Structures are given as structure tokens and as C-alpha cells.
Amino acid sequence: MIQTHTIAPIATIQTPFKEKFGIPRQPNLVAAQGRLRFTNPKLSWDAIKGIEQHSHLWLLFLFDQHLDKDWKPQVRPPRLGGNEKVGVLATRSTFRPNNIGMSVVRLLKVESENNQPVLLVEGVDLLDGTPIVDIKPYIPYADSIECASSEMAESAPEALLNVVLSPLAEQKVETHHLSDTFVTLVKKVLEQDPRPTYKRTKVDDKIYGILLDEYNITWRVINCDPNPSSENTPIT
């Protein structure tokens, strides 16, 4: 008989990513920060004693935006151009049995908020409000495998676009007193070219918007000259 087991989230994570569009495809591609707050009352200071001895943590979470969506045994990963089909279990697809995701992130510090712990982490690829079902320390001797390889995803995706701020965006950075960290986050997110795979590296008239924190960042691709000194993605 197949056993079933119910799992309940233990925490939620606050991230700058207010919509799925633009979220990096894996952790640590962008130094986006997240704040983990426990929702299970049994988990507080006692449960995280010693956690600062680990530089990185595994976050196991639910792809909660897909809980009502079906999954298929085969998927077309964007990494393979979006045309080739491979087995769902050979990928990190977000449409999968049990909707469980896993991301390794850097633990920056433990803060206190209303006397409750908040874990500040960096490198997240999660939507704001994603339910976390478990947190485990990243243990280098076991989790980092020197001879590991992945023909499907050999290395981190390279920056595809050179991002420049339009004069209007420069002005908004000034008037809203936006931090260098936030501007870097915006640039790093756009460098990955969040558009659908078939549009990547193509010029496109459309003006796109991405919600990051409380800002709607609008941008477009005006040329795809690989010369990094050319301006191809002004942010307005």
C-alpha cells in the first residue's frame, strides 16, 4: 500500500520577486536577499540554535503557484531551448510530482523581529511568500561533489543582455534614493533576459515590466549586439 503523508509549511520567505516573471532560474545567479519567518509556533530560537555555524542552507519549499496544475512525465526545459523533451525527473522543472523545490542559499545573519528569529539569506530564486517546508544545513563534504557533472546544465547561464539605465531611470534612482544594491539586483535580473526562450537575444519592440520590491521596472531590448559596451536594455 502506498503511504501518504501530509506536510505543512514551517515558514514563509519574503523576497523582492513579486511575480514569477524575472525570477532567476536557479539560486545564487543573483544576490537577491530573502527573509525567512517561521509560521510554525514550535519553531523559534530553540529550533535554530547553532544554525549560524553553517554558511549555507538548503531550503525545501513548495511551488505553491502550481499546486493546482497538473504535471507531465516529460517537460521541455528552457535550458535546452524549449523544444527538446526530457523526463521531468531529469530536470528542475517547477511542474513536478509533489511540487517540491530545493535551493541552496547563503545565510547572512539571524535577526530578531518582535522577539522572533528571522533568517536573512542571499541568492534566492523564490517568489515572495513561498511556503518553506524544511530547512537543512548545506554540508560541503557531503553536498559538494567534485567529480559531479551535468551535460544538460554544464555551467551557469551567461549574462545575455548588457543593461543600461535610461536618463529617466537614473533620475528615479536619485529621487527614490534607491540603493546601489537594489540597482545591481535590477541589472542582474535583466542581464539574464527574462523573456521567453524563443525571444532571447532577439530585438523586440515590447516594453516589459518586472515587479521588484515595490517598484515596477520597465525595460526593453533595443539591440542585441553582443558588444558589451553597446546599450541594449535601458531601464525606464
Q: Which is nearer to ligand SAM, 131 or 234 (CB)?
A: 131
Q: Output 166 or 197, the one with its CB closest to ligand SAM.
A: 197
Q: From the list 12, 130, 162, 192, which residue makes contact with ligand SAM (rule: CB under 6 A)?
A: 130
x-or-dash pattern for ligand SAM, window 98-127, by CB under 6 A? ---xxx---------------------xxx
Under the binding rule (CB under 6 A), the answer on residue 188 touching ligand SAM is no
d(CA 40, CA 129) in angstroms, rounded, equals 15
CB of residue 15 to ligand SAM, shortest distance in Å? 8
Residues 31-70: x where in contact with ligand SAM by CB under 6 A, - otherwise, as a string = --------------------------------xxxx----
Cross-strand bridge partners of residue 29: none
Q: Which is nearer to ligand SAM, 160 or 165 (CB)?
A: 160
Beta-carbon contacts of residue 29 (< 8 Å; ≥ 6 apart) = 123, 125, 156, 157, 188, 192
Out of 10, 12, 16, 27, point to the residue binding ligand SAM (CB under 6 A).
27
Contacts of 127 (CB under 8 A, 6+ apart): 15, 17, 18, 19, 20, 23, 64, 65
Minimum separation from the CB atom of position 170 to ligand SAM (A): 28
Candidates 122, 137, 149, 129; CA nearest to 24 is 122
Q: How many residues does the chain have?
A: 236
User: In 68-224, at which residue ranges do the beta strands (DSSP E only) sit?
Assistant: 74-75, 86-87, 100-113, 116-122, 130-137, 163-165, 204-212, 215-221
Per CB under 6 A, residues contacting ligand SAM are 20, 23-27, 63-66, 92, 94, 101-103, 125-127, 130
